[in-house]
Structures are given as structure tokens and as C-alpha cells.
Amino acid sequence: MMMGQHLLIECRGEHALLNSDQLEELMTRAARAGGATIIASHFHNFGGHGGVTGVLMLAESHITVHTWPEVSYAAFDIFMCGDAKPEKAAEVIADQFPNAEVSIKAIDRGYELGSTRNK
């Protein structure tokens, strides 16, 4: 039974330079585009190179980000279930900077009824 879809978004470029407020705004737009309901958010700024880690908790699961501005890399993670559309959320993130290198990998999450546990 498919429970949801998990998207891994790798970005090289300007995404990594966004501050926590800008990332929260981008991820909020992404969640809304995907039809998700935001429950809470939390973002943390790191010293040194100024990376950010953040999460939007969704009724449908989550969107997270980790940035490494010193190497122009940002990793977003979108997991949505129910009627949400994670691909629409990913489009918002990818389209933020048209010149950035963006890779999106999709994984269906769930299990088959009657399947056994791997040991």
C-alpha cells in the first residue's frame, strides 16, 4: 500500500545562500502549492559559514532543508501523503532559481499487505 511520496531535492547554487526567513518563506509556498497543511516550523542558523537547517511539520508529513553555503549546496526533503502533491511543492523549490542545478529523486513510501519484515 503506497502511503505517500518522498522527494529528495539536491540544489547547487543560490538556494544554499538563502537565510532562514527566506527558506521558511520558500518552503511555505512549496507546502501550499502541494496542498499541504502546515502545523509548525523550526529553523536553526549555524555559525561559521552560515548554514541553515529547518523543518516544516505538515499534517501530511514534512519538508526539511539543510544548507551548506560554503559549497553552494542545499538539500531539501519533501514527504507528503494523502491528497497532497509533493511534485507541485518540488516545482516551487526548483523554480526559485532557474539557473541553479537541481536534481529531484522520487521514492514511493509504503508497503505491500502481507509482506514480511526483513531481518
- The domains of the chain are located at 2-110
> Which is catalytic among the residues 6, 15, 20, 61?
61
Give me the chain's average pLDDT, please.
Answer: 94
Identify the weakest region by mean pLDDT among 16-20, 73-77, 86-90, 112-116. 112-116
Question: Residue written as cell 501523503?
Answer: 81
For 81, residues 6+ apart whose C-beta sits below 8 A from its C-beta are 3, 4, 5, 60, 61, 109
Give the three cell numbers for residue 14. 543560490
In the predicted model, is pLDDT for residue 78 greater than 80?
A: yes
Which one-letter DSSP state was computed for residue 84?
A: -
In the predicted model, is pLDDT for residue 50 greater than 80?
A: yes
CATH of domain 2-110: 3.60.90.10
Say what the pLDDT of residue 2 is.
84
Say what the pLDDT of residue 115 is.
61
Reply yes or no on whether 11 is catalytic.
no
> Which is catalytic among the residues 41, 62, 66, 72?
66
In the predicted model, is pLDDT for residue 86 greater than 90?
A: yes
Reply yes or no on whether 66 is catalytic.
yes
